[in-house]
Amino acid sequence: MGLTLAQLTDAIRHKVDVDMETSVAETIAEHALGFFGFSNRIIDNALEPTDRNLFYQLQDYDLLTTESEETTLWDGREWRIHYWKFKSNAEELARLAAEGNTKKGDDDPYAGVYDDVPASLWRERSGEDDDYEEPLF
């Protein structure tokens, strides 16, 4: 089962930046999906360097993966063919993004560390309420 444009758009926004404009994420998704057509994988040789860079970024965001296979040519040499394909978890990521959830473990463990610190302490440490004046000399 392949990804739809909407699913990949949501997954890209979820993995890259949830505040990203939908039209920007959709453009990226449409560009990537345009290579796959009705296939579940594409050959790496079909990509221009700039497109390959996009695919590497999508791989960094855990949406694409690579695979390769070797074949023997008629003259006995080994030939390796590299492919790109969407990861099996890409659909799950798209579903989670659509629901507005994050996968367990993706949350920042330090997100609420300073929530209990009173605002007065921040002002004190920042020097906002301090009447100290720096000497001129």
Is the pTM of the predicted complex or chain greater than 0.85? Answer: no
Q: What are phi and psi of 81, to 5 degrees?
A: -115, 130
pLDDT at 66 over 80: yes
Q: Would you state the structure tokens that stand for residue 131, as one six-digit string?
A: 């009447």
**pLDDT for residue 51:** 93
**pLDDT for residue 102:** 46
CA dist 117 and 111 (Å) reads: 13
Average pLDDT over residues 22-31: 90
For the chain, give every domain's residue range: 5-126
The predicted-structure confidence for 73-126, as pLDDT tens digits, reads as follows: 999 999 999 999 988 776 666 666 666 644 444 566 667 777 777 777 666 666
The CATH number that domain 5-126 falls under is 1.10.10
